[in-house]
C-alpha cells in the first residue's frame, strides 16, 4: 500500500522501503526515510521533508496526518 499527496512540485509518496521502514518519495526520488509512515506525513505537513523547494514554499491546506493522504493499493 502507498499513500500519496499531489503538490505543484510533484507527487509525494509514502511507501514501504525495501530495507524496512518507509520512504518519502517525490515522484521517483527518495527524499527522506523513517521507521513510521506517520512521521513522514507529519514532516510534509511541517515542511521538514528534506525537499528544499517544498520546505521553503508558502503552500497551505496541507494534510495534517497520514489518514488525510490518498491511498493506492
Instruction: Say what the pLDDT of residue 2 is.
Output: 93
The answer to whether 38 and 66 have CB atoms below 8 angstroms apart is: yes
Give the DSSP H/E element, type plus range, for residue 37. Answer: helix 37-46
Instruction: Say what the pLDDT of residue 49 is.
Output: 96
Q: What is the pLDDT of residues 18-40, one digit of tens each?
A: 999 999 999 999 999 999 999 99
Q: What is the pLDDT of residues 35-56, one digit of tens each?
A: 999 999 999 999 999 999 999 9
Side-chain half-sphere exposure of 23, counting CA atoms within 13 A: 15
Helix and strand tally (H, E) in the chain? 2, 5
* Confidence check: pLDDT of 72 > 90: no
DSSP code of 66?
A: G
Provide the whole-model pTM: 0.93
The answer to whether 1 and 72 have CB atoms below 8 angstroms apart is: yes
Amino acid at each position: 500500500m502507498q499513500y500519496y499527496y499531489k503538490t505543484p512540485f510533484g507527487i509525494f509518496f509514502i511507501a514501504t522501503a525495501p530495507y524496512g521502514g518507509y520512504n518519502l518519495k517525490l515522484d521517483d526520488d527518495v527524499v527522506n526515510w523513517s521507521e513510521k509512515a506517520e512521521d513522514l506525513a507529519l514532516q510534509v505537513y511541517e515542511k521538514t521533508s528534506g525537499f528544499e523547494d517544498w520546505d521553503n514554499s508558502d503552500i497551505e491546506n496541507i494534510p495534517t496526518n497520514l489518514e488525510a493522504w490518498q491511498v493506492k493499493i
